[in-house]
Amino acid sequence: MKHFNQILGRLVLVSVIGAVMTIGQTILPAADQDKEPLKLKLPMPTLKGTPDDLPSGPNIEPLPTKPRPPFFIPKGCENVAKGKKVTASDKNPISGEISMVTDGQKEAFDDQVIEMRKGTQWVQVDLEKEYEIHAIVIWHDHRWIQVFRDVVIQISNDPDFTRDVVTVYNNDVDNSSGLGIGKDKEYFETHEGRIIDCKGVRGRYVRAYTRGSNMSALNCIQEIEVYALPSK
Ligand SMILES: [Ca+2]
Ligand SMILES: [Ca+2]
């Protein structure tokens, strides 16, 4: 038993050292002089609460139970999408105006959501020039805690997205939208939005696809923010 306790003691010690090292690693990016936490102006959470029958499965991230950890981004990045021109596959949305994608409004209110027809639809932001893009933050529709299908986000210098396309997010695992098989997870819409790490991809246009949600065949979008540096 004494021997067992010695082994147990060593195991605990190793675990403690391991934990300290892990904490050290997670703190490291903050020490990076060129980076800072991305600061977002978050909307209020929905007052509708969390549904009892949330979808689940191996490809859906569980609903977070605590605030998102900081996301580090190069110093000087700004939201270069605010107020920029937006186009869409659905020229005549069921509700809302396409320009609302970049108007800065993203509260969980009906009049701050654009609803487009069913099937795969996209919205596209023209940043007016090429940027070095480090993060895209997207709110589809956080009026309800729900999962959007076929979330595909692409960057290009071609407004038609026929060439030089970089896909920075794709959770279309069955390729039902025909843009390629995605390896990213589905996730729940919350007031925090979704941060997409773009790692400095250069481009002028950002396009975001969806194909309905677990609640509705319609495609909703509230806001897209693009945190970027001028392209050198
Ligand atoms: Ca908006
Ligand atoms: Ca799909």
Q: How far is the CA of 119 from the centre of ligand 2 (A)?
A: 11
The Å distance, Cα 210 to ligand 2 centre, comes to: 9
Ligand 2 centroid to 136 CA: how many Å? 21
Same domain flag for 21 and 98 = no
Return all residues near 100 (Cβ < 8 A) that are at least 6 apart.
112, 114, 222, 223
Q: What digits encode the pLDDT tens for the residues 21-74?
A: 444 445 554 457 899 999 999 999 999 999 999 999 999 999 999 999 999 999
CB-proximal residues (5 Å) to ion ligand 2: 150, 172, 174, 176
Q: Are residues 99 and 26 in the same domain?
A: no
> Do residues 90 and 191 share a domain?
yes
In a domain, 61, yes or no: no
Question: If you measure from the C-alpha of residue 98 to the centroid of ligand 1, how many angstroms do you get, rounded to a whole number?
Answer: 9
Is 128 inside any structural domain?
A: yes
Nearest ligand (C-alpha, residue 210): 2
Record the pTM: 0.86
Structural domain boundaries enclosing 12 = 1-31
- pLDDT value for 31: 52
Q: What CATH number is given to the structural domain containing 116?
A: 2.60.120.260
Distance CA 126, CA 42 (A): 23
Evaluate whether residue 47 is within a structural domain: no
Does some domain include residue 53?
Answer: no
Output the pLDDT for position 211: 98
48 located within any domain: no
Closest of 148, 139, 176, 190 to residue 60, by C-alpha = 148
Is 37 a member of any domain?
no
As for how many domains the chain has, the answer is: 2
User: DSSP string spanning 62-128?
Assistant: PPPSSPPPP-EEETT-EE--TT--EEESSSS-SBS-GGGGGSS---SSGGG-EEE-SSSEEEEEEEE
